[in-house]
Amino acid sequence: MRVIPHLSFDGQCEAAFKLYEECFGGKITLLLTYGSQHIPSLPPELEDKVFHATLKIGDQTITGVDVAHSAYEKPQGFAVQLNIDDVDQATRIYNALTPGGKVLVEMQKTSWSGHYAALTDRFGVPWEINCEA
């Protein structure tokens, strides 16, 4: 079994996945728009939005979608946790995800981790960064 986070966005899925691709050193392997799917009665505002996106990061996968504005709900009650072995990489990712977002816990030493941070990025996705180094 594999657990794959599936993230919902309010029209910003493509921009978020491009940031994550660069930030995590991954590769977007699939990016389909609603317009390419020939969906009957498609609301015009979804025409060029993401129907499905797949981002591969090593052997891990994250998928995403844009939902209609009226159906969008802000993510809550979870965080995507990144467990990173390299302090420089953890710091770089933290610095890439924080602009325009909200830092909940600054990068710091904790009782369980040498470097830990919690934040919500500018797309509304909650992240935790954990680095043992």
Query: Residues 41-93: pLDDT tens digits?
Result: 888 899 999 999 999 999 999 999 999 988 999 999 999 999 999 999 999 99
Contact 85, 131 (CB under 8 A): yes
pLDDT for residue 84 = 95
pTM for this entry: 0.93
Do the domains 80-131 and 6-71 match in fold?
A: yes
Check whether 25 has a pLDDT greater than 80.
yes
Q: Which band of pLDDT confidence, cut at 50, 70 and 90, is reported for residue 133?
A: low
From CA 38, how far away is CA 23, in angstroms rounded? 32
pLDDT, average across residues 104-130: 96
Is domain 6-71 classified as CATH 3.90.1170.50? no
Domain extents in the chain: 6-71, 80-131
Going by C-beta distance under 8 Å and a sequence separation of 6 or more, which residues neighbour residue 59?
Answer: none
The dihedral region occupied by 82, where left means phi > 0, alpha psi between -120 and 50, and beta the remainder, is beta
The alpha carbon dihedral of 1, 29, 24, 15 has a sign of: negative
Question: What top-level class would CATH report for the domain 80-131?
Answer: alpha beta
